[in-house]
């Protein structure tokens, strides 16, 4: 399991890698030289960043219950940043592999959007984002003859679509 410090409000540039002991997992180093951490990593650990990540982990653990409750409430409300997946898969037209692994069918996974919220995201921003998203989806549905067909109970999968 890999962890990136900036995902828990630590400065960018530090992370951690957990490798289980049993069953043993073979990991190849990404950079050669140095031989630190039994040859898995090279280079000197940035001590201030590592200490900062430790402190960020302690804060995250201490606030986990509160944050979980707050985020659950916020998810039922509105506002945030939106994408169709993570930044590292933004150029891909494939549906989210995470949603597929969770059992979401391919069509639904292709129509998903991702909202990112954090500890410091105000509820007002979330409300606004949800309102704007719902409004935009309604506009797109009004323009779509396919949505009208689905509303009438027509199964779009039953069509053989022509390729251009």
Please list the active-site residues. Answer: 88
Distance CA(147)–CA(23), nearest Å, equals 49
SS3 126: helix
Distance CA(110)–CA(115), nearest Å, equals 15
User: Residue 146 phi/psi, 5° resolution?
Assistant: -65, -40
Distance CA(47)–CA(120), nearest Å, equals 27
């Amino acid at each position: 399991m890999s962890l990136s410090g900036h995902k828990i409000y630590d400065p960018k540039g530090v992370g951690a890698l957990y490798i289980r002991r049993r069953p043993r997992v073979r990991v190849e180093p990404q950079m050669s030289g140095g031989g630190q951490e039994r040859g898995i990593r090279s280079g000197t650990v940035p001590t201030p960043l590592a200490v900062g990540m430790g402190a960020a982990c302690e804060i995250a653990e201490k606030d986990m219950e509160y944050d979980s409750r707050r985020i659950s409430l916020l998810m039922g409300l509105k506002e945030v940043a939106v994408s169709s997946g993570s930044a590292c898969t933004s150029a891909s037209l494939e549906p989210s592999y995470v949603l597929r692994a969770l059992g979401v069918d391919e069509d639904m996974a292709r129509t998903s959007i991702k909202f990112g919220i954090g500890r410091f995201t105000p509820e007002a921003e979330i409300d606004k984002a949800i309102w704007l998203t719902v409004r935009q989806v309604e506009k797109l549905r009004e323009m779509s003859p396919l949505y009208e067909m689905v509303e009438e109970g027509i199964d779009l999968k039953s069509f053989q679509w022509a390729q251009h």
